[in-house]
């Protein structure tokens, strides 16, 4: 890319005044994958009417690239250094067909300066408004030091006092802020102490994806210091999110976490030695023996703090997709054979992890109305949503504003993600399969709105494997090109954007891997039709503006609920 283009790509606009203050929770909606089926929903389309009415609407296709941010820094930038002729051409299209969107912080309902993520991104894109996320709701209580006033947390504490006197707090322990936050753990500890729970045990899940891969010892020390300062609570176990927070039905991983929490299976050590034990794993002589925070196998520090019959457990992750499986194993029945299953435990969750779960939650959901998918259904426009397994929840549940059901006229397709340990082993993932299914839907002529997610830049970016991420971005660009050609042939307007940044910043200045998301802006591309972008002066274009732009292109009015605006010239 030329310096001029790169400068324009990295342009940052001033922070927006948020349009609408809605408090939301978010959780993933997954389906069981049949590995013998390439696609779970039927994609043998027959020619039929696009709409029940208003047949003159324009057709629109939306591509959401996962983890494709904009940066002019070439070092460690897997996007710039990939072969991306399609996106490069889009970037040269000029202001009429290209602009950038804010995908982080206040613009997507997160705390100022916080990086966006896939769930938040798809929620804002699909809702057409700024949705204040769970972390903002929780932060208000933390800042006001009133966690103990939360009715369900108080109930959890009082149950613990009444039953065994033992409360367990488990969750991702870092300041990454994507799934959980260490400050929330501290607030829960303070609340439990104020309510008078006799014993509190902390189970530390290592991050290493939304934080630096070997930053976990910093958070361990912060927790150890906090427990010592307050004289309350015990650090009982440590394990990586790879095991405790699997979301792809790899139950063998959850079993390792479960047996660490319940049976104490793992390396035993003492509190004064645990930091050196973890550092030893970081720096093991054999590369195959090294473990970063994400991949830490269970470490048992206090066997008194294992989960026992009658105990009470609070899972303090507020993002649900990676909390569901362990919750099912602990709070319901583990779907694997194991020697010890604690009886009469009660699990409380920070937010709603799954509608079918009966667990009490500290922060119940608030669901927005008239999101894009619902509004299209009300306007009798048929729609098609497609992604591979890893991101299927994002184009369905999250895109639809936290509603699991599909709306009338909405069809869904899930292409299985490859079954590999980590996606750097197959960096293209199945973006080609997603492109194929999306093109089938477009060519059928049945749908007024089609959309998909391309997962590789984000999923491979999280591995920290730069060379693999370059391959992932190259494959994604090729898939976008396939869809772009299909849209041209079928008179469909194409929009391309991203939910957040990631693959554009994979190395720090010292050359060490970066695996977390970024706060960089993302592209917004338009191909086809006779309309042009015209971002109003002073407006900080953001993800919430995508849905209103889609409706404008289709010739449909915008519901009053949508606080975003169309970015098209009037």
Active site residues: 118
499 carries a ligand binding annotation: yes
Cα(127)–Cα(545) distance, integer angstroms: 9
**How far from 237 is each of 167, 173, 267, 308, 309, CA to CA, in Å?**
14, 12, 10, 14, 18
Cα(560)–Cα(488) distance, integer angstroms: 32
- Please choose, from the candidates 405, 433, 498, 437, the residue with its C-alpha nearest in 3D space to the C-alpha of residue 100: 498
* Cα–Cα–Cα angle for 443, 447, 448, rounded to 5 degrees: 115
Cα(414)–Cα(411) distance, integer angstroms: 11
CB atoms within 10 A of CB 56: 7
The SS3 assignment for 299 reads: strand
The SS3 assignment for 114 reads: coil
Reading the block at residue 398, the tokens are 């999250």
**Distance separating the N- and C-terminal Cα atoms of the chain:** 31
73 carries a ligand binding annotation: no
Q: Are 503 and 458 in contact (CB under 8 A)?
A: yes
Interstrand relation of 299-300 and 312-315 (parallel, antiparallel or unpaired):
unpaired
Enter the DSSP assignment of 182: H
Strands (E), 28-165: 60-65, 98-101, 131-132
159 carries a ligand binding annotation: no
Block residue for tokens 């999110």: 241
458 carries a ligand binding annotation: yes
* Cα–Cα–Cα angle for 330, 336, 339, rounded to 5 degrees: 80
**How far from 136 is each of 126, 145, 259, 264, 379, CA to CA, in Å?**
20, 14, 33, 35, 33
Cα(502)–Cα(459) distance, integer angstroms: 9
391 carries a ligand binding annotation: yes
Q: Are 152 and 361 in contact (CB under 8 A)?
A: yes
8 carries a ligand binding annotation: no
Reading the block at residue 103, the tokens are 């995908």
500 carries a ligand binding annotation: yes
320 carries a ligand binding annotation: yes
66 carries a ligand binding annotation: yes
**How far from 508 is each of 110, 253, 387, 511, 567, CA to CA, in Å?**
24, 30, 31, 5, 34
Block residue for tokens 């290592």: 206
**How far from 230 is each of 224, 226, 431, CA to CA, in Å?**
10, 6, 50
Q: Are 168 and 307 in contact (CB under 8 A)?
A: yes
Cα(195)–Cα(172) distance, integer angstroms: 24
- Which strands, in side-by-side order, build the sheet including 312-315? 267-268, 299-300, 234-240, 199-206, 166-172, 312-315, 346-349, 360-361
Reading the block at residue 443, the tokens are 């060519």
Question: Which residues sit in the known binding site for substrate?
Answer: 179, 209-210, 241, 247, 319-322, 391
Question: Which residues sit in the known binding site for Mn(2+)?
Answer: 66, 118, 458, 462, 499-500, 517
Question: Which residues sit in the known binding site?
Answer: 66, 118, 179, 209-210, 241, 247, 319-322, 391, 458, 462, 499-500, 517
């Amino acid at each position: 890319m030329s310096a001029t283009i790169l400068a324009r790509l990295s342009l940052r606009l001033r922070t927006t005044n948020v349009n609408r203050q809605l408090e939301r929770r978010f959780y993933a909606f997954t389906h069981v994958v049949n590995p013998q089926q390439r696609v779970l929903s039927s994609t043998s389309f027959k020619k039929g009417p696009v709409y029940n009415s208003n047949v003159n609407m324009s057709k629109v296709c939306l591509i959401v690239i996962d983890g494709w941010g904009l940066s002019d820094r070439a070092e460690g930038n897997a996007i710039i250094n990939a072969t991306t002729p399609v996106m490069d051409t889009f970037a040269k299209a000029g202001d009429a067909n290209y602009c950038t969107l804010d995908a982080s912080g206040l613009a997507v309902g997160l705390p100022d300066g916080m990086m966006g993520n896939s769930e938040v991104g798809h929620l804002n894109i699909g809702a057409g408004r700024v949705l204040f996320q769970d972390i903002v709701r929780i932060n208000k209580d933390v800042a006001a030091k009133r966690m103990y006033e939360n009715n369900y947390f108080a109930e959890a504490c009082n149950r613990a006092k009444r039953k065994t006197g033992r409360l367990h707090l488990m969750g991702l322990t870092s300041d990454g802020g994507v799934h959980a936050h260490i400050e929330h753990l501290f607030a829960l500890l303070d609340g439990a102490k104020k309510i008078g729970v006799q014993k509190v045990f902390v189970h530390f899940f290592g991050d290493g994806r939304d934080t630096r891969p070997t930053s976990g010892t910093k958070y361990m020390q912060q927790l150890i210091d906090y427990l010592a300062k307050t004289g309350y609570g015990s650090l009982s176990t440590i394990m990586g999110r790879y095991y405790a927070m699997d979301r792809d039905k790899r139950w063998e991983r959850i079993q390792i976490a479960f047996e660490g929490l319940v049976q104490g299976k793992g390396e035993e050590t003492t509190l004064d030695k645990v930091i050196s034990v973890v550092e030893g794993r970081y720096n093991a002589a054999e590369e195959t023996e090294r473990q970063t925070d994400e991949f830490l196998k269970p470490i048992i520090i206090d066997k008194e703090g294992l989960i026992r019959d009658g105990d009470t457990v609070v899972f303090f992750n507020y993002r649900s997709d990676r909390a569901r499986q362990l919750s099912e194993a602990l709070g319901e029945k583990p779907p694997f054979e194991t020697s010890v299953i604690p009886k009469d435990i009660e699990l409380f969750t920070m937010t709603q992890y799954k509608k079918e779960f009966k667990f009490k939650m500290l922060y119940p959901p608030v669901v927005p109305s008239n999101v894009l998918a619902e509004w299209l259904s009300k306007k009798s426009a048929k729609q098609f949503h497609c992604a591979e397994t890893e991101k299927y929840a994002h184009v369905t549940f999250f895109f639809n504003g936290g509603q699991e059901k599909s709306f009338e006229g909405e069809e869904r397709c899930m292409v299985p993600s490859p079954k590999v340990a980590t996606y750097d082993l197959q960096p293209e993932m199945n973006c080609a399969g997603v492109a194929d299914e999306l093109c089938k839907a477009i060519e059928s002529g049945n749908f007024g709105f089609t959309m998909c997610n391309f997962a590789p830049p984000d999923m491979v970016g999280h591995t920290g494997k730069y060379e693999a991420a370059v391959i992932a971005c190259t494959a994604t660009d090729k898939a976008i090109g396939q869809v772009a050609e299909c849209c041209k042939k079928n008179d469909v307007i194409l929009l391309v954007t991203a939910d957040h940044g990631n693959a554009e910043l994979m190395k720090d200045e010292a050359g060490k891997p970066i695996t977390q998301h970024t706060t960089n802006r993302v592209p917004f591309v338009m191909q086809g039709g006779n309309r042009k972008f015209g971002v109003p002066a002073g407006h900080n274009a953001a993800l919430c503006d995508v849905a209103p732009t889609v409706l404008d292109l289709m010739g449909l009015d915008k519901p009053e609920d949508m606080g975003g605006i169309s970015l098209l010239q009037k």
